[in-house]
Amino acid sequence: MSYWQNLQAILKTSGPKPIYTWVSDNGRIELSVVTFANAVSKASNFISDGLELDPGTRVKVALGNHWQSPVWAAAAFSTNLQLVTQESEVTFGSIENEATKSTGGAQFVVVSKDPFGMPEKQIPIGAINGSLEVRSYGDYFAPVEVMPADTEVFTNWENGYTWEQLSELAKELASSQGLNPGSRFGIFGTPDELTSLLLQVVLPVQEDHSVVLIDQVGPDFEAVTSHEKLSFIFKPHFVRRIH
């Protein structure tokens, strides 16, 4: 199954269930599977019809532990783009990390990190205001084609991974921490790119996990664990690096 097929499967069985919760110093935002799928559809339509990116285009998502990060990574998977950690043809990033524009992104799409996704009012010259543009695109998305199963959808330095390989690595990571399908876990900080992708994007649709993105300075982990009813919190120095 592709990413999009996995997302549609949990949409049918877990539509109202929270898939992402973003906890920050600015507040708390919760996205149900339905809400998330809607955001992914709009972003996917923007990528396909607005940016007109061809399948296989190398793109980077540089949005950290914000709820927008899985939205744009999921849209990249849904439109058959290739997520990369090095040189990209397009970078989806916040206005704060504009520097990524000059480190590999030929095209820079600004994604707002406002809690509610309100578009930036001023963006760098030559950049695209993604959070503004995406609003005008439809809520329904249908992939034009499903890429072959052996297509690499993520490249981490010299290593490339298919969706099936990412799915297996995600299951291994969940198993290593005793997480059962449907568990609710938290992520604090940003581990290596592959592990972040597994936690933020793959596990939620592959194993129907609910993820809490802890995007704040010095959180009280006991309080967050209790309040959000978490089974586990992944922190960079606790996560086993996967190669």
Q: Which residues of 178-202 are buried (b: 16+ CB within 10 A; e: fewer)?
A: ebeeebbbbbbbebbbbbbbbbbbb
**pLDDT digits over 59-102, tens only?**
999 999 999 999 999 999 999 999 999 889 999 999 886 654 54
The whole-number pLDDT of residue 98 equals: 60
E strands present in the chain:
18-24, 27-32, 58-62, 82-84, 88-93, 105-110, 128-129, 152-156, 159-162, 184-188, 210-215, 232-234
Report pLDDT digits (tens) over 36-45: 999 999 999 9
Structure confidence by residue, pLDDT tens digits, 2-60: 999 999 999 999 999 999 999 999 889 999 999 999 999 999 999 999 999 999 999 99
pLDDT digits (tens, 9 = 90+) for 185-221: 999 987 789 999 999 999 999 999 999 999 988 899 9
- If one compares 113 and 243, the residue with the highest pLDDT of the two is 113
Q: What is the rounded average pLDDT for all residues in the chain?
A: 91
pTM: 0.93
